[in-house]
Amino acid sequence: MKNGEMTTYETSIESAAPALPPTPDHEPQLKSRRLKLAKLRSANAARIILGTVLAVLLLVTWLANNPALSGSTPSDWKSDLAQAAVKNTLNAGDTKGAAQQTVVNGWYLNDIAAVQAAQNSYIAGSSSRNGNLLALIGIGIAGELVIRGLEGSGVFGKKPKSVPVVEGI
């Protein structure tokens, strides 16, 4: 090897990757498949299904969004407020001066604030549940409108009979 000369390596014609097979003269035909849904025979069957689904969702919403699960119920608030009033009366009897009375009033406000926080949590849970129930009722009404539209277009088989109009009355 001389100075400045570079050496090259000879490579074989065959590469390490296998050769691709020849392409066929025709391409295979792809078959398109549609998802086949069970066809309902009548609009009443669709209404029964919609009603059943909505009934289950309403029940789950009612049970899952129970504001009483937050740990406090309206029956607890009365006893908590009465307990806070009794503690305030007992503590106020032991005070001597305005500074001690201010501290006792602060304790009383803390006891009442805990009850108010529980009430606010309960109200928020009730509002959430009411909103969810209202949304499900809206979905039910919208579903009925869709079913009526499909029924009128003849998707469920026969079109509904039209009421004959009597003229001259």
What's the full length of the chain, in residues? 169
Interval 61-66 mean pLDDT: 84
Residue 165 has a pLDDT of 65
CA distance linking residue 73 with residue 75, whole number of Å = 5
pLDDT-derived band at 69, boundaries 50, 70, 90 = confident
CA dihedral over 82, 86, 89, 92, signed as positive or negative: negative
Give the C-alpha separation, 86 to 100, whole Å. 17
Whether the Cβ atoms of residue 161 and residue 47 lie closer than 8 Å to each other: no
Q: How far, in Å, CA of 75 to CA of 158, rounded? A: 57
pTM more than 0.85: no
Q: How confident is the model at residue 113 (pLDDT cuts 50, 70, 90)?
A: very high
- 101-111 confidence digits (pLDDT tens): 888 889 999 99
Per-residue pLDDT averaged across 53-72, rounded? 84
Query: Structural domain boundaries of the chain?
Result: 43-153
- Rounded to an integer, what distance in angstroms lies between the CA atom of residue 77 and that of residue 82? 8
The predicted pLDDT at position 135 comes to 92
* Predicted confidence band of residue 92 (pLDDT cuts 50, 70, 90): confident
Name residues whose C-beta falls within 8 Å of residue 43's C-beta, 6 or more positions apart in sequence: 147, 148, 150, 151, 156
Locate 154 and state its tokens: 């003849």
Greater confidence (60 vs 160) lies with 60
